[in-house]
Chains A and B, each alone.
Chain A
Amino acid sequence: MNRRIARTLLTHSFVTVLAATAALAHAQNSSDAVEWLSRIYQATHNLSYVGTFVYQQGEHSETSRITRLTSTHGNIEKLEALDGEPREILRTNDAVRCYLPKSRTVKIDRRFDHRGFPTLLQGEIGGLTQNYTVALGHSERIAGYSCEVVVLTPKDDLRYGYRLWADANSGMLLKALTFDGKGHTVEQFTFTQLTIGKVTQAEVKPQRTTAGWHVEDAEVAPVDLEQEGWRVESVLPGFRKVVEVRRTLRSSRTVEQVVYSDGLAAVSVFIEPLTAEDKPVQTGLASLGATNIYTREVANHLVTVVGEAPAASVQRIADAVNYHQPQ
């Protein structure tokens, strides 16, 4: 009988040790994966590169070229659509310029906070583990590069999951896939060719002169929506307010914009007054890859919620918007 007691106890402690070891291995994998997220982030901002990537979403796919020059004089990044209309987007430290040759229009957008682009995520990468399980997958090869795979699995159904393939040497992101709660691919970006380093100033210049083009330069200013009677709250756990501004849209309209983010996904709420000329608002949902757009009318205003989040999340934020006449 004593022998059996000893054996039973031994079995129990063995199982305990096994579980503890497994938990430790899990934690190690998770912190390594978070470390890889930081490396991806650093590579995106510190490298110069030129490459061709394919964007896929449903049956739609589109090829583009991306060129980035990182230098002490400032960073410039250029995105060119290689399919269809030859559109270009340029990003400098303070603004994004969108060149649309068909309508001979340049749209210029600036961040309100002037912090520049890179700061938003910095320091928040560790915080992602509150909403996502971050783990390393098996290494894979993409466009000739051996890649580490980082998988971000959401801890609830309020957000999408992500698989990221990063070059094992440089940390450069070679492929990014967004998946839904059923594990189905929602959209993906894949480099088919990439050269790191050696980018000249000429390569990041816009291709055409824009003399005579229509320029839409957005004006952005801070605003306090609550003081104006609006209740816009993040009803989604893990999403917090990033910015709240009043801005112009297409030169002619003024809209208010509130952005929520969980550190990776972002959702914007746009509110604009309706005028007599506006068509009646169609309440409902439209989708574009991982982006869902929900529209509704509140107190004679058009409320449009745009986000890279599942439809139900975008709708929940839209449904929570309400207005009370300020006292």
Chain B
Amino acid sequence: MNIEISALIDGEGSQRELDEALAALARDPQACECWRIYHLIGDAMHGHGLLSREFGAQLSDRLSREPTVVAPRAMRSRRERSRWVALSAAASVAAVALVGWLAYGPTANVVAPPVATVPPPIAEAKPKVPARVALPSATNDYLLAHQIYSPRVTLQGLAPYIRTVSDDVVEKGGR
């Protein structure tokens, strides 16, 4: 069935193949997933920005909540589809690798298209927002004692010590 869907996307294939593909898309969530992944691969290869994974479901949802004027046949919600289709292993891995690279690759040179991402896990036991206090009166002494062991100074030389030297800063209670 994947081949018929691929043909449908490319606008090729016989009428019978296209009918079969359309019929499969209407009844089979796996076929829908296949359709989505082929578009994902195509978009990634062409460098198009990608929509979020939930875009289709959200669009359906929003449409279903629009006031219905004429409704020849209501669209079935696709939210039940969730299983990752068993595509050929090579294609799945390649698509994931490519999308992963686009998203997490060298950020300096590549502008990553917005891709579907899993929301980050909620940070474990984040400390409360701390109270703001004035700089300790011995701030300079702490900084002097600290910076002598800071690798930053071995990379940059003495420059970071400029943070330490101004007593005015401490007297003013910080910048």
Contacts and interface: CB of A to CB of B under 8 A. Distances in A.
B166 A293 contact: no
Contact of B162 (A55, A263, A268): A55
Nearest to A63: B162
A57 interface: yes
B15 interface: no
Nearest to A218: B145
A18 B108 contact: no
Contacts of B130: 283-285, 294, 311, 315
A199 interface: no
B69 interface: no
Interface string A73-95: 00001110100110101010000
B162 to A, nearest CB: 5
Contact of A270 (B13, B142, B157, B164): B142
A79 B3 CA distance: 70
Given A102-B167, A286-B132, A16 B90 contact: yes
Contacts of A257: 145-146
B161 A89 contact: yes
Given A12-B90, A293-B139, A264 B163 contact: no
Interface in B91-132: 91, 93-95, 97-98, 101, 105-109, 126-127, 130-132
Interface of A: 1, 4-5, 7-8, 11-16, 18-20, 22-23, 26, 29-30, 37, 40-41, 44-45, 53, 55, 57-60, 62, 64, 66, 68, 77-79, 81, 84-85, 87, 89, 91, 96, 98, 100, 102-103, 107, 109-111, 117-122, 124, 133, 135-138, 149, 151, 153, 173, 176, 189, 218, 242-243, 247, 249-250, 253, 255, 257, 259, 261, 263-266, 268, 270, 282-289, 291, 293-295, 304, 306-308, 311-312, 315-316, 319
Given A102-B167, A103-B167, A289-B175, 15 more contacts: A8-B3, A15-B91, A18-B45, A53-B159, A60-B175, A79-B159, A96-B144, A122-B154, A189-B160, A261-B150, A266-B152, A285-B133, A286-B132, A288-B163, A289-B163
Interface of B: 2-3, 6-7, 12-13, 41, 44-45, 88, 90-91, 93-95, 97-98, 101, 105-109, 126-127, 130-136, 138-139, 141-146, 148-169, 174-175
